[in-house]
Amino acid sequence: MPIHSTAILDPGALVPDSCNIGPYCIIGPNVELGKNCRLVSHIHIEGPTRIGNKVRVFPFTSLGMAPQDVGYAGEPTRLEIGDDNEIREFVTINRGTVKGGGVTRVGNHILVMAYTHIAHDCQIGDHVILANAATLGGHVSVEEWAVVGALCPVHQFVRIGAHSYIGGGTTITRDVLPFSKTAAARDTHAYGINSVGLERRGFTPDRIRKIHHAYKVLLASKLNTSQALEKLKSEPDAGDDVAVLIQFIESSERGVIK
């Protein structure tokens, strides 16, 4: 295991021989790294934290520090990070809080770009991209394949739906619909479906057509949200993706961006 002479590893940390630990890294107790991780330099990891296999972490990143929550009183909460992730420079990811379930969780195959902040109790699904300086408040949920653009602040407790795309500089205070493109002009709006992203992920033309139809009913008809949902439920062969969209809206507590 290549460990630079300036790195500090607590005896209670579990670091496999296949890992590469660069200059001035600090790994505290109750930290567990998976196989083939690389910490480039100047990285501080505090536990309890578990990091999966083949995770690359770039300089000046802070992982597993105490949550930035005034009610936190030193309880033993956790950070869990999955496999095959790239975490770029100056990223901060905090542990959870007891009131939020105790765990901040980051999935697999995720790109977290420079200066991004993932606050306590966030739940990040697989294949997510968080662009430079995306800032997630506490308890935010980002579902699989979502893209959060650069310089986007996301309000606490917001949900970002699967396969959605948020344009850079957009302030998010309500839930972001699955499959949608959302951006800020004068106000924040959903601008139809993320068709390019869906095509890249192998969605068939028929699946995309059904999602597009559902969005026309939701966003372009004269129906209110309740009426639009009832119409979509009544249509035969709407498809599983539309069912996901309906369930997301019906379970929203903060309201959705339309």
DSSP-derived letter for residue 68 is S
Nearest-angstrom CA–CA distance, 151 and 130: 10
∠ CA 118-124-127, rounded to 5°: 120
Pure H helices in the chain: 195-200, 205-215, 225-234, 240-250
Query: 52 and 85 in contact (C-beta within 8 Å)?
Result: yes
Query: 67 and 137 in contact (C-beta within 8 Å)?
Result: no
The counts of H helices and E strands in the chain are 4, 25
Nearest-angstrom CA–CA distance, 165 and 173: 15
Query: 180 and 194 in contact (C-beta within 8 Å)?
Result: yes
Query: 230 and 246 in contact (C-beta within 8 Å)?
Result: no
Identify which of 250, 177, 189, 242 has the alpha carbon closest to the alpha carbon of residue 212: 242
Active site residues per annotation: 120-121, 138
Query: 177 and 192 in contact (C-beta within 8 Å)?
Result: no
Nearest-angstrom CA–CA distance, 129 and 258: 22
